[in-house]
Amino acid sequence: MASRILFHGSNMKVEFPEVRKAKFNKDFSWGFYCTNDFEQASRWATRRKQVGVINKYIYTANPNLKILKFDEMTDEWLDFIAKCRSGAIHEFDIVEGPMADDTIWNFVNDFLRGDISRELFWQLAKFKHPTHQISFHTLQALDCLVYEGSEYIDSREIEK
């Protein structure tokens, strides 16, 4: 099975990832979130502080795990995010797919509240380019990650 590099942006070095219950519900529910996009990880790492940490992992999928993958934004993806953001728990070990950025998330919120229809959501979201995320929801899923190191990043350098 092929391996690939993933990044996790944080305010600390994360040598031993954990699945934590968050204060709020995320796109794919509680879990440890990574991305294959270094720039996305940089934004995660520096969103609250000037200096953040990008943690690097080698990911090798385990075919014995329950993995859900969305290759693009679809009705199934929207419904799954809507359920997870509403507090529903799923049975998957790993979920991978597009991330609802701030703009798309505003549209998702509007959809969840019933302020816009599914059709209008897709009209608004069609020109947005979501980034990648992969979330790990069980200890068995976290075993697919091998820590490779961390890098400090300063948000002031990103903005230049």
Q: Which tens digit of pLDDT belongs to each residue from 56-85? A: 999 999 999 999 999 998 999 999 988 998
* 145 neighbors 135 (Cβ within 8 angstroms): no
Torsional class of 64: left (φ above 0), alpha (ψ -120 to 50), beta (otherwise): alpha
Residue 116: is its pLDDT beyond 90?
yes
Query: Residue 47: what pLDDT?
Result: 81
Per-residue pLDDT at 160: 41
DSSP bridge partners of 147: 57
Summarize the confidence of residues 75-100 as an average pLDDT: 91
**What is the mean predicted confidence (pLDDT) over 3-16?**
96
Most distant pair of Cα atoms in the chain: their distance? 44
> Which pLDDT does position 22 carry in this prediction?
67
Q: Report whether pLDDT(159) > 70.
A: no
Q: Give me the torsion for CA of 5, 138, 27, 9, rounded to 10°.
A: -40
The count of domains in the chain is: 1
Q: How many CB atoms lie within 10 A of CB 158?
A: 13
User: Which range (6-20, 32-46, 73-87, 145-159) has the least confidence?
Assistant: 145-159
| φ, ψ (nearest 5 deg) of residue 153 | -140, 140
Residue 157 has pLDDT above 70, yes or no: no
* % of residues, the chain, pLDDT over 90: 60
When the pLDDT of each residue in the chain is averaged and rounded to a whole number, the result is: 88
Domain that holds residue 7: 3-17+24-158
Q: Quick check: 156 pLDDT over 70?
A: no
